[in-house]
Structure 1
């Protein structure tokens, strides 16, 4: 593979009898994308994760009887070969991540309201090690009638596991002790916010959460020693005058730490924010159409590209990031992929 090309995988909302996980390439000169190969046998591969050695890929199957899949990655072709699959003992798993040391996979089950941990064996196989059931509700009777964990991930130092629970308006800290998730601390968001996804500033000082239900972004001071967050700012994820759609989705900070992007599915847009280098606070700059419908997920790539997965228009659109101000410009290249909902860069991006 050329140094001018980056690989990525796309997860989709497709049936098990259809091609579901797509390996794709991104030309770092132009933003052109191509499908390299694809994998069937998994339904609704809505979130993907890869180990540090890039030889194992893990995926959730977001179905009523949820499952987690483990694949080996062919070092020459990037093709996926199934190693293991395990039930999550719940429904609608929508997020998967690995611990910093690569020892465990963690899964958030949206509908059944619980979080799993699995120990990863030497050959990539999965052994269930923990299951934590959340309980409670919040003020939105339609969407917060019960717990709905929407993401699970470790802090940058690998000390704590954090869970954004949309149904409880909580970001919950756990410790992972010998494979068991142990309760540590809970941070409350604004009532009815619906915390969904999260990202960390490369300095380690701040964290940023996107709230689906009230279409906001929250800035937190991050204390990795104590395992705590302090709310510093809450800012709209929508442009001024836009109608709230309870559809904010994904959030990412650039590796340089200067820019933050947030996607919104009601506006079919991605917002750009400048990050104050002294305080971590956000200033809204602009919103750009994703040139598609329902941008559930997006990713930032080396060379200064952003790829947006438009679920309901079945395409992935590439944008060039202006390295001076972070503004997005469409490259003109669009990749047709059935109902893409997750983009996983193979290489860690730097620009």
Structure 2
């Protein structure tokens, strides 16, 4: 098993790094990070077999690049770049070989197809418009979609930080059809979303509010019911914080999010009524943890600290949901995306 970490390339990072994973339980460790893909600003990426699809910040242009991994190294096999900023998020459907990108700066959502060789084809795009923008400084300049991926029923969903909205789409005959919209509270800063195991609830994290909103919804008639909202940071924490990544365990029992500023991962238990109860806030032992992730068995968790160029490895208790740090100060530059791989 290995861990891939990529991020910004503003200081010393050259792109995506591979860290070998050895040992088990409390003796598990990540070894030295080695650069395996050289690319500008791979702040998010996905993997399908020997293909890696990464955000590419190529100076005056931005987009995504496809790389093929081999024993000889990684080679770029295709890219799709347009003038301006690169996207913030890449989603993937490995069965249908589709990619979904959300561009925070240009407000463009894109859908791509790819083949076994990594060849990319743009299927369609849509652009979010300024609707009722939130009141915070980060929102007043326009819409900012920060997430674009699939729903449990196979539709698509985007979180828009500028508009405080969750928008649902269906890919129909090569076009994106807007189906419904859920509006978060003003200033929420909708960023990432996960769904309950039964597909009847979603949890959306607000970057600007440091909150998670629990919503009951129906993908047939698009009824939404606001169930509850919880803070991801302590009430008495007054310094700047930006809530970032959001994950739910595969058994549906625990929800996790990272806090950039409070520099922690928050663990919530999912109650029988799908509300959330605080279980733990654990330090990431660094500054600005944008992403974290777990292995296929969700036994190990790695958090990447962007500003302090380090990562932390945790052992996860599946019964209680808690995280125990077992390795700190793992050197990796400017990390913003974590992905376990074989």
User: Structure 1 length as normaliser, TM-score?
Assistant: 0.89
Structure 1 distance, partners of 2:116, 2:94, is 16
| Residue in 1 that maps onto 2:192 | 197
* Structure 2: segments with no counterpart, 5+ residues: none
| Residue in 2 that maps onto 1:316 | 311
Alignment of 1:78-227 (within 5 A): 79-99=73-93, 101-136=95-130, 137-145=132-140, 146-158=142-154, 160-226=155-221
Q: Secondary structure at the match of 1:127?
A: strand
58, 65, 70: which one aligns with 1:69: 65
Q: Secondary structure at the match of 1:297?
A: strand
| Residue in 2 that maps onto 1:33 | 30
CA contact under 8 A between 2:303 and 2:312: conserved in structure 1?
A: yes
In structure 2, the CA distance between the partners of 1:179 and 1:49, relative to structure 1 (3 Å rule), is: farther
Deviation string, structure 1 residues 42-78 (Cα, Å, up to 9, x no partner): 1110001122xx222101124652120111232xx49
User: Structure 2 length as normaliser, TM-score?
Assistant: 0.91
Q: Secondary structure at the match of 1:230?
A: strand
Whether 2:253 is the aligned partner of 1:258: answer: yes
Q: Secondary structure at the match of 2:185?
A: coil
Structure 2 distance, partners of 1:263, 1:35, is 24
Deviation string, structure 1 residues 94-124 (Cα, Å, up to 9, x no partner): 1001135333211111111111111213422
CA contact under 8 A between 2:51 and 2:68: conserved in structure 1?
A: yes
Structure 1 position 79, deviation (Å): 4.0
38, 43, 48: which one aligns with 1:46: 43
* Structure 1: segments with no counterpart, 5+ residues: 1-5
Q: Secondary structure at the match of 1:10?
A: strand
In structure 2, the CA distance between the partners of 1:105 and 1:58, relative to structure 1 (3 Å rule), is: same
Q: How many aligned residue pairs are there?
A: 336
Structure 1 position 15, deviation (Å): 5.3
Structure 2 distance, partners of 1:268, 1:78, is 38
CA contact under 8 A between 1:262 and 1:271: conserved in structure 2?
A: yes
Structure 2 distance, partners of 1:198, 1:248, is 12
Deviation string, structure 1 residues 286-340 (Cα, Å, up to 9, x no partner): 2111111100001122261111110011011011112321122110344201110
Q: How large is the RMSD of aligned CA atoms in angstroms?
A: 2.2
Structure 2 distance, partners of 1:169, 1:286, is 27
Structure 1 distance, partners of 2:113, 2:12, is 28
